[in-house]
Chains A and B, each alone.
Chain A
């Protein structure tokens, strides 16, 4: 039986404008058994100055810049918990996120990975863009396997491995999840909006274009869905 403690891994790289808010959104969780691990992936801005004042409320792990996958992996290794969640430094959690997710894990102990819905919000200074997209899918609740919504049993990393480094950062979280899902991990999405994804000028995915790796992901996703549908039909 897993420990009910949840390690919240916040990988961060040059996000001093946002990371404190991300940490606060974990500190105010209504779920009490948490461990916050901030992995500073070689930031060159004021991240350390922003994070240090949280003192013993968090574990601060600075490391040389190795990329988001390596940062998440470092956070998993440092965790002392039965569950692991991730929060990108520019995103925020709903205060009840972990409570609601852990309640579902209580009901369905066979589950391994649990994602939730989320909504985008626009950072200050992007009011025009926000207005432009107000009736657009980007402004609606979105259901998907977004890493900042994931709550996973820690054991899945032992069973299916860690995030792959040296792959496109945009796709590595999904590649890992698909690998786990295809390997037999039980995946669900809780359809409550429990994460808020900040759109700002520095989003890695701004100017996103389809590339060959994305098409490979599409195939992997399609194959996974097909397998799942066949299994469900059995």
Chain B
């Protein structure tokens, strides 16, 4: 159980990520696994990236999504545990030492229906890297891992 005061950091060393059409697309370069986070999950990712604590993330989700109150806290705990296990985010001292205040978010113009955030894991998409395959080099070694 993560304390509400904890901050988790995106694993910037190994994970490349981008929000596309409200969905977070990520690659863990250390093991070549791909991930996606749906709409609520993508917002969670953005909030973590901005330096929000676990408690602040839950508050934001409850404010932004209709029907999230009472469900989001538990769902987000599960999501963050999964993200920690996959090493997409890290819990280190450095995360809690981040001094930057999270930016103030504009109030939502209309609440979207809440869906429990899901981390989709694609371990069978290694071929994708082979579509336009990297050749040996430092970056490539990271992409393929050491298996």
B133 touches A218 (CB 8 A): no
In the complex, per-residue mask of A189-225: 1 if CB is within 8 Å of any chain B CB, else 0: 0000000010100010111111010111111011001
CB distance from A161 to the nearest CB of B (A): 19
* Residue in contact with A219 in the complex, picked from B20, B130, B139, B147, CB distance below 8 Å: B20
B114 CB-CB contact with A under 8 Å: no
A203-B135, A218-B125 given. 14 additional CB < 8 A pairs? A136-B144, A138-B135, A144-B133, A146-B130, A146-B131, A170-B132, A173-B132, A174-B132, A207-B140, A209-B139, A210-B139, A214-B16, A218-B128, A221-B125
B131 and A174 contact, CB distance less than 8 A: yes
Q: Does A33 contact B (CB under 8 A)?
A: no
> With A215-B16, A218-B27, A222-B34 in contact, do A143 and B130 touch (Cβ < 8 Å)?
yes
Count B interface residues, CB 8 Å: 30
Is A133 interfacial (CB 8 A cutoff)?
A: yes
Known: A219-B20, A219-B21. A144 touches B131 (CB 8 A): yes
B residues less than 8 Å from A209 (CB atoms): 139
Partner of A208, one of B17, B25, B137: B137
Majority DSSP secondary structure for residues of B touching A: mixed
The secondary-structure label for the interface of chain A is mixed
Contacting residues of chain B (27-52) with chain A, CB-CB under 8 angstroms: 27, 29, 34, 36
Leading 5 A-B pairs by shortest Cβ distance: A208-B134, A144-B130, A215-B18, A210-B16, A209-B139
Are A206 and B137 interface neighbours, CB within 8 A?
Answer: yes
B23 interface residue (CB < 8 Å to A): yes
Residues of A within 8 A of B (CB): 120, 129, 132-133, 136-138, 142-146, 170-171, 173-174, 197, 199, 203, 205-210, 212, 214-219, 221-222, 225
How many A-B residue pairs have C-beta atoms within 8 angstroms? Tell me.
94
Given the complex of chains A and B, what is the CA–CA distance between A230 and B135 in angstroms? 34
B residues sitting closer than 8 Å to A (CB atoms) are: 16-18, 20-21, 23, 25, 27, 29, 34, 36, 122, 125-128, 130-140, 143-144, 147
B10 CB to closest chain A CB, in angstroms? 14
Say whether A137 contacts B144, CB under 8 Å: yes
Residues in A with CB closer than 8 Å to B131 are 144-146, 174, 217, 221
* A residues in contact with B16, CB < 8 Å: 210, 214-215
Known: A137-B147, A219-B23. A207 touches B139 (CB 8 A): yes
C-alpha spacing A205/B133, complex, angstroms:
7
- Closest-CB distance, A14 to chain B (whole angstroms): 17
A129 touches B136 (CB 8 A): yes
A142: chain B residues at CB < 8 Å are 127, 130, 133
Q: Are A207 and B27 interface neighbours, CB within 8 A?
A: no
Q: Which A residue sits closest to B130, measured CB to CB? A: A144
